Amino acid sequence: MVFEGLASKLQDVVKKFRGKGRVTEADIKEIMREIKIVLLEADVNFKVVKDFINVISQKAVGQDVLESLTPGQQVIKIVHDELVDLLGGTQSKITFAPRPPTIIMMAGLQGSGKTTTSGKLGNLLRKQGKNPLLVACDVYRPAAVKQLEVIGDQLSIPVFSEPSGKNPVQIAQNAIRHADSNGNDVVIIDTAGRLHIDDELMNELLSIKTTVRPHEILLVVDSMTGQDAVNIAGTFNEKIGIDGIILTKLDGDTRGGAALSVKSVTGKPIKFAGMGEKLSDLEPFYPDRMASRIIGMGDVLSLIEKAQDAFDEKKVLELEKKMRTQQFTFEDFLDQIQQMKKLGPMNQIIGMIPGISQKDLQGIDIDEKKMVHYEAMIQSMTRKERHDPSIINASRKKRITEGSGTTVPELNRLLKQFEEMKKMMKQFSNMSKSKKGMFKMPFMR
């Protein structure tokens, strides 16, 4: 869960203020003290925390807040707005060249996920209608070129590479010429990294920058390293100049120190966030949406976008019809499971719903394995069994569970839940419209 520790504690603090009818300066001092502790525990840069608290304190003790009819809500709004500002204010997009190709240079230390992120970025830009070319300029790390070629093959994105021994600057130059002649409007250069920042690395990056003059230099950093990520970003910006930051492993970052500090410390925006291991798990970074999620206000826009990407509109309409006519089968159920999986981890999805806090999620057992087991059991059924589960007797159950690596009690639970779902659908389909246009249940008069 993104910023699980930070979000949970911050939500507890702001909840105290949500319903307050009257707020005093002493109340504001107390909440500022609690927010300060929460942010420092989340590994946010000390100076950033100090400035953040000062700004909120000055705004919160103004007459507009103290004399407001809903002062608690006003304070929460101030905290939210300042969090948005801390995270970058507005979404920062890639600057595309007026004349293609747009050259994007990826930089970062070894182990930050730079090569995989290069592929993810290419995949994201292709969805936006671009025709990217990935360029393998990491000629030092064993199998780095091969790794990029495998990623490119998985995504059906071309990869430009040259035999070992070639200079990375020459490779980058040749790749741009190749892109020009092959119609690639975006060139993503995967450069070499090191375990630590050194002059040799920086000199090579500067040579590539000076020669190919990239339109964007994006620094890839591991968000889970906290203040180390912020320090690395600061050094790279000082040495070569960067245009934006991609935070990887944000889905596993429970603290949030890097995301909340990096813009203030470096002055450079977070442009993208890695939210999982799949090659589709790279998202544009929206400061306002992230701030809303941190203090429990949800993220409806991201949820809608995910649903639009994941769900086939035609299939949704077909399913709605089947539910109305009570023709819903295990094949439809399987299709729903597979579409739900495209949305991503369920705890991330539920966390985007407004009003659901981190504490609410702690009481929910979101067992992703159950979905996998359900899928395996349905796939082990025959077509006839999927359409008519009533024929599934003891011997059929044995065959289905052996084929899916599950147990008979698990299959019984699935069959029971499926029947309950169909009963619920029947109730909805039995609703009739009154003359006033209101839905009426059978027992209503």
Q: Where are the domains of the chain?
A: 4-86, 102-303, 310-433
59-88 pLDDT per residue, tens: 877 656 655 556 667 777 888 888 899 999
Q: How far is Cα 46 from Cα 44, in angstroms, rounded to an integer?
A: 6
The confidence score (pLDDT) of residue 121 equals: 96
Q: How far is Cα 262 from Cα 181, in angstroms, rounded to an integer?
A: 38
Q: Under CATH, to which class is 4-86 assigned?
A: mainly alpha
How many Cα atoms sit within 13 Å of 373 on the Cβ side?
A: 17
CA quadruple 122, 123, 125, 128: dihedral, nearest 10: 160
The confidence score (pLDDT) of residue 348 equals: 60
Residue with tokens 């407004």, as numbered in its chain: 354
348-400 pLDDT per residue, tens: 655 555 544 555 545 444 556 677 888 899 999 999 998 888 899 999 999 99
| Percentage, residues of the chain above pLDDT 70 | 76
232-274 pLDDT per residue, tens: 999 999 999 999 999 998 877 667 788 888 898 899 999 999 9
The confidence score (pLDDT) of residue 25 equals: 80
Q: How far is Cα 427 from Cα 372, in angstroms, rounded to an integer?
A: 28
In this prediction, residue 176 has a pLDDT band, given cuts at 50, 70 and 90, of: very high
Sign of CA dihedral 304, 307, 308, 313: negative
Q: How far is Cα 61 from Cα 428, in angstroms, rounded to an integer?
A: 52
Q: How far is Cα 425 from Cα 445, in angstroms, rounded to an integer?
A: 21
> What tokens does 226 get?
């906290």
Bridge partner residues of 104 (DSSP): 188, 216
Kindly state the average pLDDT of the residues 6-34: 77
390-424 pLDDT per residue, tens: 899 999 999 999 999 999 999 998 888 888 777 76
Helix (H) or strand (E) holding 239: helix 227-239
Kindly state the average pLDDT of the residues 211-240: 91
The confidence score (pLDDT) of residue 284 equals: 92
Burial (0-12, 13-18, 19+ Cβ within 10 Å), 201: buried
Q: How far is Cα 36 from Cα 44, in angstroms, rounded to an integer?
A: 10
Q: How far is Cα 239 from Cα 199, in angstroms, rounded to an integer?
A: 9
User: Is residue 434 over pLDDT 60?
Assistant: no
Q: How far is CA 193 from the centre of its chain?
A: 25
How many Cα atoms sit within 13 Å of 73 on the Cβ side?
A: 6
Backbone angles phi, psi at 256, to 5 degrees: 95, 10
In this prediction, residue 18 has a pLDDT band, given cuts at 50, 70 and 90, of: low
Kindly state the average pLDDT of the residues 27-42: 87
The confidence score (pLDDT) of residue 433 equals: 39
In this prediction, residue 324 has a pLDDT band, given cuts at 50, 70 and 90, of: low
The confidence score (pLDDT) of residue 68 equals: 56
Burial (0-12, 13-18, 19+ Cβ within 10 Å), 70: middle
> What tokens does 182 get?
């092959």
Q: How far is Cα 281 from Cα 66, in angstroms, rounded to an integer?
A: 44
Q: Which is more confidently placed, 300 or 309?
A: 309
4-8, 177-181, 281-285, 318-322: the lowest-pLDDT one? 318-322
| Percentage, residues of the chain above pLDDT 90 | 37
- The b-or-e profile of 354-376 (16+ CB within 10 A means b, else e) is eeebbeebeeeeeeeeeeebbbb
Q: How far is Cα 315 from Cα 432, in angstroms, rounded to an integer?
A: 25
Q: Which is more confidently placed, 119 or 225?
A: 119
Q: Which is more confidently placed, 100 or 437?
A: 100
Q: How far is Cα 1 from Cα 425, in angstroms, rounded to an integer?
A: 32
Q: How far is Cα 187 from Cα 199, in angstroms, rounded to an integer?
A: 26
> What tokens does 393 get?
């007797």
Mean pLDDT, rounded, of the chain? 80
CA quadruple 401, 407, 411, 412: dihedral, nearest 10: 130
216 and 106 Cβ atoms separated by less than 8 Å: no
Q: How far is Cα 139 from Cα 162, in angstroms, rounded to an integer?
A: 9
User: Is residue 214 over pLDDT 90?
Assistant: yes
User: Is residue 283 over pLDDT 80?
Assistant: yes
Q: How far is Cα 65 from Cα 19, in angstroms, rounded to an integer?
A: 14
> Span 310-433: which CATH code?
1.10.260.30
85-139 pLDDT per residue, tens: 999 988 899 999 999 999 999 999 988 899 999 999 999 999 999 999 999 999 8
AA identity, residue 316: V
- Of the candidates 353, 282, 268, 295, the one whose C-alpha atom is nearest the C-alpha of residue 89 is 268
The SS3 of residue 273 is strand
Q: How far is Cα 192 from Cα 60, in angstroms, rounded to an integer?
A: 47
Kindly state the average pLDDT of the residues 152-180: 92
> Span 102-303: which CATH code?
3.40.50.300
Q: How far is Cα 128 from Cα 122, in angstroms, rounded to an integer?
A: 10
264 and 233 Cβ atoms separated by less than 8 Å: no
Q: How far is Cα 110 from Cα 113, in angstroms, rounded to an integer?
A: 8
